[in-house]
Amino acid sequence: MSVSDDRLVRHVAACQLPTPFGVFTLHGFEEVGGPREHVALSLGEVGAGEVPVLIRLHSECLTGDALFSLRCDCGFQLEAALEAIAREGRGAVLYLRQEGRGIGLINKIRAYKLQDGGADTVEANEQLGFPADMRDFRLVRDMLAELGIARVRVMTNNPRKVETLEKIGIEVVERVPLEVGRNPHNDRYLSTKMAKLGHMLSG
Ligand SMILES: [Zn+2]
C-alpha cells in the first residue's frame, strides 16, 4: 500500500455507536502529521449506489453540542441532523474538531465575553485578531473519500459549505435547510450569521 500521498487525515478505526436516534457507525480519523482527531457517524450503506447521501459537516462546538448552550444553534442542528439521517436510514455526519469556527475553545470563551459586552460574533473574533471564520474544510475531502461518498444532499444553512464541497469535487444535489433551535439567547447570533456570514435563514 502506498504511503506517499497528500491526505490530511486517515481513517484509523470504526465501531458501532448506539444513540437515541439509531445505531450509527463511528469512524475515527487522525490528521496526518497533526494533533487533531476527527470522527464521522454513518448510517446505512453510504458508499454504495448512485443515490446521493444525506450529510452534515458539523464543526465541534463543545458548549452547544455537549453543554446545552443556548448561545448558538449547534447542538440543535447536530441532533436534527442525526434524527434526519436515522429517519432516512442512510447518511453521515462529519464531526470536525475545529471549535469556535477554528479559533479554539478558550478563544471562543474570550469571544463570548466580548459578546457579553456588546460585540457581535464576527466583531468579537476580529477584536481577538482572528478572521470571522478560520475553519478548514479540506479534511472533508479525505473523510468523504474514505467513506466512499461522492454525491450528497447537505444539511446546512451556509452556502459556503456547498461551495466548499463543490470545490473539493463533491456533487451537491441539494441543500437541505436545518433551521432549528432559535431562542432569545441566540437570536442576535443567528441574525449576524445571516447578515455577515451569508447564512440563509428565514428572519
Ligand atoms: Zn455552537
Q: pLDDT of the chain along its 203 residues, tens only? A: 444 468 889 999 999 999 999 999 999 999 998 889 999 999 999 997 889 999 999 999 999 999 999 999 999 999 999 999 999 999 999 999 988 777 889 999 999 999 999 999 889 989 999 877 767 777 899 999 999 999 999 999 999 899 999 999 999 999 999 988 888 999 888 888 888 888 888 75
Evaluate whether residue 66 is within a structural domain: yes
Evaluate whether residue 118 is within a structural domain: no
Q: Is residue 193 annotated as involved in ligand binding?
A: no
pLDDT of 54 reads 98
Give the Å distance between the CA of 3 and the centre of ligand 1: 36
* Catalytic residue (one of 65, 73, 133, 142): 133
> Is residue 141 annotated as a catalytic residue, yes or no?
no
Give the Å distance between the CA of 78 and the centre of ligand 1: 10
CATH label of the domain that carries residue 36: 3.40.50.10990
Range of the domain at 17: 9-98+135-197
Q: Is residue 56 annotated as involved in ligand binding?
A: yes
Cβ atoms within 10 A of the Cβ of 119, count?
Answer: 18
pLDDT of 7 reads 85
Evaluate whether residue 181 is within a structural domain: yes
Evaluate whether residue 47 is within a structural domain: yes
* Catalytic residue (one of 110, 135, 141, 153): 135
Query: How many folded domains does the chain comprise?
Result: 1
Give the Å distance between the CA of 118 and the centre of ligand 1: 18
Cα dist from 112 to 92, 120, 182, 184, whole Å = 30, 9, 18, 16
Q: Is residue 110 annotated as involved in ligand binding?
A: no
Q: Is residue 115 annotated as involved in ligand binding?
A: no
> Is residue 135 annotated as a catalytic residue, yes or no?
yes
Q: Is residue 161 annotated as involved in ligand binding?
A: yes
Evaluate whether residue 31 is within a structural domain: yes
Sheet containing 23-31, strands listed edge to edge, beginning at the edge strand earlier in sequence = 9-18, 23-31, 37-43, 91-96, 53-59, 151-155, 171-176
Evaluate whether residue 159 is within a structural domain: yes
What pTM did the predictor assign?
Answer: 0.91
